[in-house]
């Protein structure tokens, strides 16, 4: 039996193995809305250019509308024998309207058709992802405002380093997410050119209007080279790169939720809706949602690497290898969308134990740097000398099992005579945090100013 798509070139149909490796309908059926949008724009252009009749154009539009309704209602029967979403829709259109369906593919190839569908899908996903990022940013900004003066330890090497405010800590992720949103926006700009009209690889001899279809589909312009139009997948690579970077940021925050919600720190109280219990240990509350956000980053990064490997050796123009471009992209975009939603829910409901944070900030001599700075600023010591004296004072405090601000002044003056009683003004965690009023610093007033900045930024972005 001759395959209806290949016609007479192949006398026998593909065997089961060929059908299994060749069919993409199992995953590319999610492109149905984009495929129908592209076909409608193409049909309208063909009518406008006098390539097909108005009657055929009307029949095609009505048939495509019915197909979209059938798919949305779950009544459409997808066929593996028809390989992909394009042929499934075309076959059903033929059943519905007969001969005019065969004219829809005039001046078009599946090569430019799938390239158009895929760009439209990724563009829609980028818009959705950017909106989700803004929603998470809003939650973090709100929480940062509420905790602009909640003191916690700032860490380097996961060791207490200097006291900071929890609001400042949260705003670090807001900064990251804003850059993520910018990357999605930039990727969208470069993506937003239309492959439609490139046909198989060389363009078409029909008098089509590529500007008309580009405008109808919301593209800025048609792509300028037909071979590039059907074979480029760098738009998907760029989208995956932005997705992987964003997922990496979420994974860092997820890791902190895992660490700081444990009994060793006790900074966070996990919301019940985003944690689970143990089947054997009744006292456990496991941060499963955070752990899964952390883990999904692996598959997202893998999707980026996978597509780069697929594309790295392909000659121009189209090769069937490119059928492998979609599953990884779909999965990565789905995974990031789910991770953003989960993180938004977790952070919105996360309980914060300010007392535990403050106690941790007071441990580990986290104001030692403030002491060294004071010795430079007030006692006139060179920083290296001040660093050395501060180290001696930390050792003394360890020996006496006390905090730096609990050391007797006389004991400190034995190590450095220039130390005065004014030194105690920098040794508390409150004074340490309050002193860092520089732009981008952790002082509560600096945090509140940055909160206002991000509130205005989000309001403008969503307007």
pLDDT at 2 > cutoff 50? no
Q: What is the mean pLDDT of residues 419-437?
A: 88
DSSP state of 152: E
**Helix ranges (DSSP H) in 73-104:** 85-97
Looking at the chain, the whole-number percentage of residues with pLDDT higher than 70 is 95
Burial class of 407 by CB neighbour count within 10 A (0 to 12, 13 to 18, 19+): buried
Report helix angle 234-260 to 166-191, nearest 10. Answer: 170
Beta strand spans in 201-248 (E)? 221-222
Half-sphere exposure of 329 (CA within 13 A, CB side): 28
Q: Which residues pair with 222 in a beta bridge?
A: 194
Q: What is the mean pLDDT of the chain?
A: 92
Please report where in the chains the tokens 């601000």 appear, as a residue.
Answer: 405
Give residue-wise pLDDT tens across range 193-251.
Answer: 999 999 999 999 999 999 999 999 999 999 999 999 999 999 999 999 999 999 999 99
Residue 85 to residue 82: CA distance in whole angstroms: 8
DSSP for 322-362 reads GGGGHHHHHHHHHHHHHHHHHHHHHHHH-EE-HHHHHHHHH
The residues assigned a catalytic role are 157, 278
**pLDDT above 80: residue 6:** no
The pLDDT of residue 338 is 97
Dihedral angle sign, alpha carbons of residues 121, 125, 128, 131: negative
Query: Any bridge partners for residue 59, and if so which?
Result: none
* CA–CA dist 440, 438 (Å, integer): 6
Own/partner pairs, 435-438, CB within 8 angstroms, 24+ separation: 435/370
SS3 398: helix
Whether residue 282 has pLDDT greater than 50:
no
Give the closest residue to 327 by CA, choosing from 302, 344, 346: 302
Residue corresponding to tokens 């444990």: 262
pLDDT class for 155, splitting at 50, 70, 90? very high
DSSP state of 276: B
Per DSSP, the chain holds a count of helices (H) and strands (E) of: 18, 6
Gap between the Cα atoms of 380 and 108, Å rounded = 78
Calpha distance 425→403 (Å, rounded): 14
**Residue 115 neighbours by CB under 8 Å, 6+ apart:** 195, 198, 229, 230, 232
Q: Largest alpha-carbon pair distance within the chain?
A: 100
Which region, left, alpha or beta, applies to residue 203 given φ > 0 means left and ψ of -120 to 50 means alpha?
left
């Amino acid at each position: 039996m001759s395959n209806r798509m290949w016609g007479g070139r192949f006398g026998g149909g593909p065997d089961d193995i060929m059908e299994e490796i060749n069919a993409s309908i199992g995953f590319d059926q999610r492109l149905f809305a984009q495929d129908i949008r592209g076909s409608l724009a193409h049909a309208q252009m063909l009518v406008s250019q006098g390539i097909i009749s108005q009657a055929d154009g009307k029949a095609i539009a009505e048939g495509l509308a019915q197909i979209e309704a059938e798919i949305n209602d779950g009544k459409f029967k997808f066929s593996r024998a028809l390989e992909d979403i394009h042929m499934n829709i075309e076959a059903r259109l033929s059943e519905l309207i007969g001969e005019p369906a065969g004219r829809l593919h005039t001046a078009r190839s599946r090569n430019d058709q799938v390239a158009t569908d895929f760009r439209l899908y990724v563009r829609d996903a980028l818009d959705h992802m950017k909106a989700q990022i803004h929603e998470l940013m809003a939650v973090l900004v709100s929480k940062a405002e509420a905790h602009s003066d909640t003191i916690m330890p700032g860490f380097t090497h996961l060791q207490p380093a200097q006291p900071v405010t929890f609001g400042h800590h949260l705003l670090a992720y807001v900064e990251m997410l804003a850059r993520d949103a910018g990357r999605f926006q930039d990727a969208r700009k470069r993506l937003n050119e239309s492959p439609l009209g490139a046909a198989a690889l060389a363009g078409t001899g029909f008098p089509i209007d590529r500007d008309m279809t580009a405008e109808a589909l919301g593209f800025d312009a048609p792509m300028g080279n037909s071979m590039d139009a059907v074979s480029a997948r760098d738009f998907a690579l760029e989208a995956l790169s932005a997705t992987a970077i964003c997922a990496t940021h979420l994974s860092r925050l997820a890791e902190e939720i895992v660490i700081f919600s444990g009994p060793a720190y006790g900074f966070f109280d996990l919301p019940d809706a985003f944690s689970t219990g143990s089947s054997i240990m009744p006292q456990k509350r496991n941060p499963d949602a955070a752990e899964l956000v952390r883990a999904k980053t692996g598959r997202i990064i893998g999707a980026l690497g996978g597509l780069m490997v697929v594309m790295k050796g392909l000659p121009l123009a189209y090769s069937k290898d490119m059928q492998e471009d979609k599953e990884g992209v779909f999965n990565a975009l789905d995974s990031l969308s789910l991770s953003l939603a989960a993180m938004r829910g977790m952070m919105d409901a996360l309980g914060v134990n300010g007392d535990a944070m403050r106690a941790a900030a007071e441990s580990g001599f986290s104001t030692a740097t403030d002491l060294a700075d004071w010795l430079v600023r007030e006692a006139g010591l060179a920083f290296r000398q001040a660093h050395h004296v501060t180290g001696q004072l930390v050792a003394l405090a360890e020996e006496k099992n006390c905090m730096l601000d609990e050391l007797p002044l006389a004991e400190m003056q034995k190590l450095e005579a220039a130390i005065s009683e004014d030194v105690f003004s920098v040794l508390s965690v409150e004074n340490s945090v309050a002193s860092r009023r520089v732009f981008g610093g952790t002082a509560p007033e600096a945090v509140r100013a940055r909160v206002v900045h991000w509130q205005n930024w989000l309001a403008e972005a969503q307007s």
